[in-house]
């Protein structure tokens, strides 16, 4: 790494914290600015596939992550009404043997805390909350950021990890309407004692039906069963993109589904149920402008049908850190980062969208696979610590 590089990361989500950690490991002095008054993640689960776990290993947090994660042996894909097993998805040791890591699920807040703790262990002052970035200016050999509070900061490089509605992206590449994709997701956490024992074999299961899907797996040492439920909607008229949701609304959406689904929905405490509009922006071929680069959802928002959004952000972070180590200066580092990542992210964004007809199928009986689609696409055979940068 170029000696004494100062880096600013905008946004302390999973992507921003992973980027901060990667840059610290590359020897940079990093400040992360987060608009929220306190650090945190939404109350929901997240899956981390082997390529993401390899990224966490490269960032030095895999052991801490594993302490909180659950590694399913396999998952069932079931018919929405009969619960007939349509496919068995193996996720256990076979993956570790083939790719060097397994498939995990975890509470998002646990993953977020593991990353934040590691960033703060390297520098207790690295994360600053309550600061919203509003302007960026390229200056000689650097970049300057202005915050809503009036604070201004200069750095040698800036990472915009500020999510799908990224302000940094709009500043760098032009303002653009964030588009509602027509898909809505509800996320809920159900106390495990409210779930019938027979519905837990195996703990990790997906139900698919016409226009809808529900994916559920345990988090927090099996105390909670996390679910994410998807439906299609012609529009989004709610105030805000992520809002508290009503159990009745979700129950109506999944009326007629197998009792293991309807009981799960009935069991979610309303304060733990939220609804998201899934949004998209146009794909970008450039992520870098001057000394600023995009990362995570800011660069490549995707539909979560392959469970790769946060995993892609972790991959981005590892490649960014490695590019900084390999390069002689910041422009070269950012060029290497962009060149190594744009194609991979674009492929995963496109393939994620193509999964919708499979998982929302009007004919779930036709669902089958020999190899799970994410694995068949070769997504797991990407070790961010090893690919060329």
Which of the residues are catalytic?
Answer: 217
DSSP 380: T
CA distances from 27 to 20, 21, 192, 326 (A): 11, 10, 43, 12
Q: What is the CA radius of gyration of the chain?
A: 21
Q: How far is the CB of 346 from ligand FAD (least distance, A)?
A: 15
Which is closer to ligand FAD, CB of 43 or CB of 307? 307
Structure tokens at 243: 């809002």
Nearest residue (CB) to ligand FAD, 308 versus 340: 308
**Residue 167 phi, psi dihedral angles, 5° rounding:** -75, -40
Q: Give 380's contacts (C-beta < 8 A, 6+ positions apart).
A: 49, 50, 51, 95, 98, 99, 374
Q: How far apart are CA 159 and CA 6, in angstroms?
A: 11
Q: How far is the CB of 167 from ligand FAD (least distance, A)?
A: 4
- Closest contact distance (angstroms) between CB of 328 and ligand FAD is 28
Which residue from 330, 355, 326, 309 is spatially nearest to 51, judged by alpha carbons? Answer: 309
Q: What is the Cβ-side half-sphere exposure of residue 326, based on CA atoms within 13 angstroms?
A: 18
Name 143's bridge partners: 138, 155
Beta strands in 63-121 (DSSP E): 74-79, 85-90, 104-107
| Interface with ligand FAD (CB under 6 A) | 10-16, 33-36, 46-47, 132-133, 161-163, 167, 185, 187, 228, 276, 278, 296-298, 304, 307-311, 313
CB of 338 to ligand FAD, least distance (A): 16
Q: Strand order in 133-139's β-sheet?
A: 133-139, 142-147, 152-155
Nearer to ligand FAD (CB atom), residue 109 or residue 389: 109
In the complex, the smallest distance separating the C-beta of residue 164 from ligand FAD, rounded to whole angstroms, is 6
Minimum distance from CB of 150 to ligand FAD (Å)?
14
Interatomic CA distance for residues 313 and 14, integer angstroms:
7
**Residue 267 or 304 with smaller CB distance to ligand FAD:** 304
Task: With beta carbons less than 8 A apart as the criterion, state whether 38 and 369 touch.
Answer: no
Q: Which is nearer to ligand FAD, 68 or 331 (CB)?
A: 68
* Residue placing its CB nearer to ligand FAD in the complex, 108 or 258: 108
Half-sphere exposure (Cβ direction) of 136: Cα atoms closer than 13 Å: 29
């Amino acid at each position: 790494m170029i000696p004494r590089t100062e880096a600013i990361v905008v946004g302390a989500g999973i992507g921003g914290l992973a980027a901060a950690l990667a840059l610290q490991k590359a020897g940079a002095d990093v400040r992360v600015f987060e608009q929220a008054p306190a650090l945190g993640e939404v109350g929901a689960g997240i899956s981390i596939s082997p390529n993401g776990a390899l990224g966490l290993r490269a960032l030095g947090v895999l052991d801490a992550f594993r302490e909180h994660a659950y590694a399913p042996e396999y998952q069932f894909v079931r018919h929405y009404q009969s619960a007939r097993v349509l496919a068995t998805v193996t996720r256990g040791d076979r993956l570790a043997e083939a790719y060097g890591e397994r498939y995990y699920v975890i509470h998002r807040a646990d993953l977020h805390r593991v990353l934040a703790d590691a960033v703060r262990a390297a520098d207790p002052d690295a994360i600053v909350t309550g600061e919203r970035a509003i302007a960026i200016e390229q200056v000689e050999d650097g970049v300057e950021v202005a915050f809503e509070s009036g604070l201004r900061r200069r750095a040698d490089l800036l990472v915009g990890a500020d999510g799908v509605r990224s302000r940094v992206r709009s500043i760098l590449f032009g303002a653009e309407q964030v588009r509602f994709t027509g898909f809505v997701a509800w996320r809920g956490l159900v106390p495990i004692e409210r779930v019938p024992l027979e519905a837990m074999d195996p703990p990790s299961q997906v139900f698919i039906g016409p226009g809808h899907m529900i994916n559920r797996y345990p988090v927090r040492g099996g105390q909670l069963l996390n679910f994410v439920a998807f439906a299609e909607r012609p529009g989004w008229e709610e105030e805000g993109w992520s809002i508290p949701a009503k159990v009745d609304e979700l129950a109506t959406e999944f009326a007629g589904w197998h009792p293991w689904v309807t009981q799960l929905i009935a069991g979610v405490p309303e304060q733990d149920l939220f609804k998201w509009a899934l949004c998209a922006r146009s794909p970008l071929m450039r992520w870098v402008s001057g000394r600023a680069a995009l990362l995570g959802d800011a660069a490549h928002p995707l539909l979560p049908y392959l469970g790769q959004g946060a995993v892609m952000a972790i991959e981005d972070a590892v490649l960014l850190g490695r590019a900084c180590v390999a390069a002689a200066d910041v422009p070269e580092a950012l060029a290497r980062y962009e060149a190594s990542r744009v194609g991979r992210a674009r492929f995963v964004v496109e393939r994620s969208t193509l999964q919708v007809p499979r998982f929302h199928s009007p004919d779930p009986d036709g669902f089958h696979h020999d190899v799970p689609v994410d694995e068949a696409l070769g997504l797991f055979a990407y070790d961010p610590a090893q690919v060329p940068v």
